[in-house]
């Protein structure tokens, strides 16, 4: 389903972008708007295929990101692409969106109780605004696709990190966003190859282009995902910051690189290579950290699932609330200490669910020890029952039986 959603988002965005750009080739502004609209439809298709259509009215942060923040930002970028507004008004609009973005995403949550962390929200807004202006300005000036490319990568890494930290839906939503952005960028690139420059640009450098709009769309998508992943999921602050810095890492050396000596093509290749490398390094670090966290926490939990489904003695609810004993099923250590007196467990036994459930699933004789242990747990409910007590109890029961 995820692969289908990503491919669907890519295909729809690429196809609509190509068609739209082709139809409106003589109208640079329309061509630029067409690729942004194609991105929108790519996202819609991807979310539909992922069965992650946001609810209306939006009640969660993810819904508000997809229904409010992203469309408003895309509308501003469409205005910019069509040159409907001047530079000052665009900057002001972006500033307003950046200022309200975090409060909108955190609306109604515990984060905004008592006014919320105003300084942190203001800092995030300023960072968002500065990144937005810097990247779109740089891309508009240089027709640079590297920034948009690494933003796609950053969105993918953000999504994977959020998913591995435990918020599956929040993470997976990022993937069709990245797919749609890649599709729209491919359409823009194809259209620009056909037109002999950046799509919508007439060679004079003054006509609108779809590339800054798509780069900004990616940046807004990345910012929204990282904020909701950090505030509602378990994305760490360090990972969030590293991911958000990636597009800037790609922008800053590009601005410096233009002053380097050598041919234009050589400078472009050299600049693109080291910027991609600079951007990939933090993303790899973030991904590695997310994987390590997954392995130590959720991976263990998910890895335990087949074991729990396997016949296994009293393990769903630990006998002892003491952390050091929680992972040790009572019957397991009881078996070792009792010298194998406990009957072996076979497939189909449901030892971990209590006597009633076990009796429903298994022959009574086989369930008996588990039921007795459950009985012991109910006798000692709320007590700090440890290994010694369990072993002693089982010994007593076996002695009675014998």
Backbone angles phi, psi at 17, to 5 degrees: -65, -45
Indicate whether 4 belongs to the interface with other proteins (CB under 8 A): no
Indicate whether 10 belongs to the interface with other proteins (CB under 8 A): no
Q: By CB under 8 A, name the one of 4, 19, 53, 109 that touches other proteins.
A: 109
- Separation of alpha carbons 224 and 61, rounded Å: 9
Residue with tokens 């086989």: 366
Q: By CB under 8 A, name the one of 134, 231, 255, 285 that touches other proteins.
A: 231
Indicate whether 126 belongs to the interface with other proteins (CB under 8 A): no
351-360 long-range contacts, Cβ below 8 Å, gap at least 24?
A: 351/311, 351/312, 351/313, 351/314, 351/315, 352/308, 352/312, 352/313, 352/314, 352/315, 352/316, 352/317, 353/316
Piece of the chain touching other proteins by CB under 8 A; list 79-87, 139-147, 149-157, 349-357: 349-357
The residue count for binding other proteins (CB under 8 A) is: 39
Indicate whether 378 belongs to the interface with other proteins (CB under 8 A): no
Indicate whether 380 belongs to the interface with other proteins (CB under 8 A): no
Decide whether 52 or 330 has the Cβ nearer to other proteins: 52
Indicate whether 357 belongs to the interface with other proteins (CB under 8 A): yes
- Could you tell me which residues come within 8 angstroms of residue 142 by beta carbon, excluding any fewer than 6 positions away? 254, 258
**Helix residue ranges per DSSP H, 196-311:** 210-231, 237-257, 264-296, 298-309
Piece of the chain touching other proteins by CB under 8 A; list 5-13, 20-28, 332-340, 345-353: 345-353
Within residues 62-101, the interface with other proteins by CB under 8 A covers 62
Residue with tokens 């630029």: 32
Indicate whether 108 belongs to the interface with other proteins (CB under 8 A): yes
Decide whether 167 or 223 has the Cβ nearer to other proteins: 167
Q: By CB under 8 A, name the one of 318, 341, 359, 368 that touches other proteins.
A: 318
Within residues 298-317, the interface with other proteins by CB under 8 A covers 298, 300-301, 305, 308-309, 316-317
- Could you tell me which residues come within 8 angstroms of residue 322 by beta carbon, excluding any fewer than 6 positions away? 384, 386
Burial of 80 (0-12, 13-18, 19+ CB in 10 A): buried
- Least separation in angstroms between residue 324's CB and other proteins is 13
Torsion of CA 369, 371, 372, 375, to 10 degrees: 160
- Separation of alpha carbons 188 and 184, rounded Å: 6
- Separation of alpha carbons 41 and 19, rounded Å: 13
Indicate whether 354 belongs to the interface with other proteins (CB under 8 A): yes
Piece of the chain touching other proteins by CB under 8 A; list 143-151, 189-197, 225-233, 337-345: 225-233
Indicate whether 110 belongs to the interface with other proteins (CB under 8 A): yes
Indicate whether 352 belongs to the interface with other proteins (CB under 8 A): yes
Indicate whether 232 belongs to the interface with other proteins (CB under 8 A): yes
- Least separation in angstroms between residue 344's CB and other proteins is 19
- Least separation in angstroms between residue 390's CB and other proteins is 16
Cβ 5 vs Cβ 175: under 8 Å: yes
Decide whether 3 or 130 has the Cβ nearer to other proteins: 3
Decide whether 95 or 318 has the Cβ nearer to other proteins: 318
Of 219, 226, 223, 228, the closest CA to residue 105 belongs to 228
Indicate whether 350 belongs to the interface with other proteins (CB under 8 A): yes
Indicate whether 168 belongs to the interface with other proteins (CB under 8 A): yes
- Distance of CA 267 to CAs 27, 110, 331, Å? 31, 49, 68
Cβ 42 vs Cβ 180: under 8 Å: yes
Applying CB under 8 A, which residues contact other proteins? 51-52, 55, 59-62, 108-111, 165-170, 231-234, 297-298, 300-301, 305, 308-309, 316-318, 321, 326, 350, 352-354, 357, 361
């Amino acid at each position: 389903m995820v692969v289908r959603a990503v491919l669907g988002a890519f295909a729809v965005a690429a196809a609509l972008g190509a068609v739209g750009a082709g139809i409106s080739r003589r109208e640079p502004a329309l061509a630029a708007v067409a690729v942004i609209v194609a991105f929108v439809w790519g996202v819609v298709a991807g979310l539909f295929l992922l069965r992650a259509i946001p609810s209306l009215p939006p009640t969660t942060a993810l819904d508000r990101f997809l229904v409010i923040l992203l469309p408003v930002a895309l509308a501003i970028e469409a205005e910019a692409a069509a040159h409907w507004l001047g530079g000052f008004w665009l900057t002001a609009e972006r500033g307003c969106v950046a200022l309200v973005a975090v409060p909108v995403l955190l609306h109604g949550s515990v984060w905004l109780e008592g006014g919320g962390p105003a300084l942190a929200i203001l800092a995030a807004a300023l960072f968002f605004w500065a990144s937005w202006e810097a990247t779109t300005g740089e891309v508009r000036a240089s027709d640079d696709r590297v920034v948009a490319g690494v933003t796609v990568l950053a969105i993918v890494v953000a999504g994977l990190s959020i998913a591995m930290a435990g918020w599956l839906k929040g993470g997976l939503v990022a993937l069709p966003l990245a797919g749609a952005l890649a599709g729209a960028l491919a359409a823009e690139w194809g259209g620009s190859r056909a037109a002999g420059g950046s799509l919508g640009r007439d060679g004079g450098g003054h006509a609108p282009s779809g590339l800054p709009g798509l780069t900004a769309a990616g940046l807004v998508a990345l910012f929204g995902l990282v904020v909701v992943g950090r505030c509602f999921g378990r994305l760490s602050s360090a990972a969030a910051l590293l991911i958000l810095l990636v597009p800037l890492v790609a922008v800053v050396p590009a601005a410096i690189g233009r002053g380097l000596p050598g041919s234009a093509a050589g400078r472009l290749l050299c600049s693109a290579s080291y910027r991609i490398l600079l951007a990939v390094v933090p993303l790899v670090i973030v991904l590695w950290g997310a994987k390590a966290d997954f392995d130590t926490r959720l991976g263990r939990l998910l890895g335990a699932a087949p074991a729990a489904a396997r016949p296994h003695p009293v393990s769903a609810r630990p006998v002892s609330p003491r952390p050091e004993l929680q992972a040790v099923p009572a019957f397991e250590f009881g078996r070792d200490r009792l010298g194998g007196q406990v009957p072996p467990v076979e497939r189909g036994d449901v030892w971990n669910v209590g006597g009633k459930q076990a009796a429903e699933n298994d022959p009574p004789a086989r369930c008996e020890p588990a039921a007795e242990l459950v009985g012991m747990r109910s006798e000692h409910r709320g007590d700090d029952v440890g290994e010694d007590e369990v072993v002693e109890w089982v010994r007593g029961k076996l002695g009675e039986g014998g």
